Structure formats: C-alpha cells, structure tokens
C-alpha cells in the first residue's frame, strides 16, 4: 500500500468503503425512481464531480446530468455567504431533481441551494450527499447519505484544500499546521 501524502494525517473513508457505498446509494436511487420518469441529477461543482461520475454510472434508471457552481470557502474557514457562480442550463419545473453534493458541513450551502431549486417548482427534490460533518443543524432532509464523519477538514474523492488532493481515491484528514 502507498504511504499517505505528508499533508494528510489519516484515512477517514477508504476507497473500498466509498465504492461500496456509492453502489448502494445508486441502487437505492434506482429503486426509488424505477417508475420510468427521467431523473435530473444536479452536481455541485467543483467538489461533487468525482462522486457524481461514479454514482451516475451505477444508476440503472434514465437520468440527465447538469451542474451548478456555488461560491465556496476560502481555505479551511467558512466565509458564510453563498452565491450562484454558474447556474443550470435548463428549467427544472416538473422534473425529479436530485442534488448531488460532496460534503455538508454547516449545511448553509445545501439549504441555500434547496431553497433556490424548490422555488423553481420541480416535481420532486432530493439530496444525495457523500459525507456529512454536522448532523444537528440541518433544516432540510438528506435522503441519500454516504457517511457521517468527524468535524475535521477532509480532502480526496473530489474534496480539496486550496484545489489540492481532489483526485485521491479515498477521503483523508488534512494535517493541521
Ligand atoms: P457548508 O455550507 O458549511 O455545509 O459547506 C459546504 C461546502 O464547504 C462544501 O460544498 C465544500 O466546498 C466546503 N467544505 C466544507 N468542509 C469541507 C472539507 O472538510 N473539505 C473540503 N471542503 C469542505
């Protein structure tokens, strides 16, 4: 096995655990939406692109993929405000929408997005989140959740620190200075 990168202190979710769980989540979604209606999968850039690529390739129901980009944190601290940097290409009115997000920390980003998308009158709106750091302060449901993890800064499998470590196959804790 390869040594851990010196920026990292430990693996929080292994590559095998991720792949198993992604398959399970895709199975759940495929079962829940097996009525034939096309799903509209909304990936949140940049962090969700790897999760979304693996998840959608395991879906056995018809689906379209679109992306949104939201303003995110600087380094490892929260700036608070959320803003749309890039919007969806199509209206979602009447569609079955699933938000695919890499991580929920305070929940501000997902709640903001949920509110915005709900206002566009989709037929249904669900959330699929790979990892959640805090579970107590979220006011919206996460129907499809990968893992609950400790409240530490993590990187890998799409998650970054200043755009580094996104392509690691596992999720690891970043060392503190
Ligand atoms: P929230 O709005 O506090 O839930 O934060 C969500 C956003 O913060 C995510 O979409 C990520 O961009 C970023 N984020 C929060 N925690 C981490 C982390 O541990 N690693 C990488 N990005 C994170």
Q: State residue 75's pLDDT score.
A: 40
From CA 98, how far away is CA 112, in angstroms rounded? 15
**Ligand 1 touching residue 76 (CB < 6 A):** no
The pLDDT tens digits for 60-98 are 999 999 999 998 654 444 556 788 999 999 999 999 999
From CA 80, how far away is CA 176, in angstroms rounded? 22
**C-alpha of residue 151 to centroid of ligand 1, in Å:** 11
125: nearest Cα among 45, 39, 35: 39
The pLDDT tens digits for 9-61 are 999 999 999 999 999 999 999 999 998 788 999 999 999 999 999 999 999 99
pTM: predicted TM-score of the whole model, two decimal places: 0.93
97: nearest Cα among 77, 136, 123, 135: 123
Q: State residue 76's pLDDT score.
A: 44
Domain range annotation of the chain: 8-174
Residue 105 annotated in active site = yes
**Ligand 1 touching residue 112 (CB < 6 A):** no
From CA 20, how far away is CA 5, in angstroms rounded? 24
The pLDDT tens digits for 94-151 are 999 999 999 999 888 999 999 999 999 999 999 999 999 977 777 888 999 999 999 9
8-174, CATH topology level: Rossmann fold (3.40.50)
DSSP 122-145: -SEEEEEEEEES--TT--S--SEE
* Token reading at 59: 């879906």
Q: State residue 79's pLDDT score.
A: 55
16: nearest Cα among 160, 157, 174, 159: 157
Q: State residue 131's pLDDT score.
A: 97
The pLDDT tens digits for 144-176 are 999 999 999 999 999 999 999 999 999 999 998
């Amino acid at each position: 096995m390869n040594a851990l990168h010196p920026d990292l202190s430990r693996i929080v979710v292994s590559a095998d655990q991720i792949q198993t769980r992604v398959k399970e989540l895709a199975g759940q979604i495929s079962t829940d939406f097996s009525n034939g209606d096309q799903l509209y999968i909304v990936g949140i850039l940049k962090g969700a692109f790897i999760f979304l690529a693996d998840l959608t390739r395991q879906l056995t129901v018809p689906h379209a993929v679109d992306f949104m980009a939201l303003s995110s944190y600087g380094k490892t601290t929260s700036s608070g405000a959320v803003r749309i940097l890039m919007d969806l290409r199509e209206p979602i009115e009447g569609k079955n929408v699933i938000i695919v997000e890499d991580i929920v920390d305070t929940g501000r980003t997902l709640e903001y997005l949920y509110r915005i998308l709900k206002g566009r009158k989709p037929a249904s709106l669900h959330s699929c989140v790979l990892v959640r750091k805090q579970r107590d302060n979220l006011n919206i449901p996460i129907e499809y959740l990968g893992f609950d993890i400790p409240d530490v800064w993590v990187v890998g499998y799409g998650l970054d620190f200043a755009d580094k470590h996104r392509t690691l196959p596992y999720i690891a804790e970043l060392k503190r200075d």
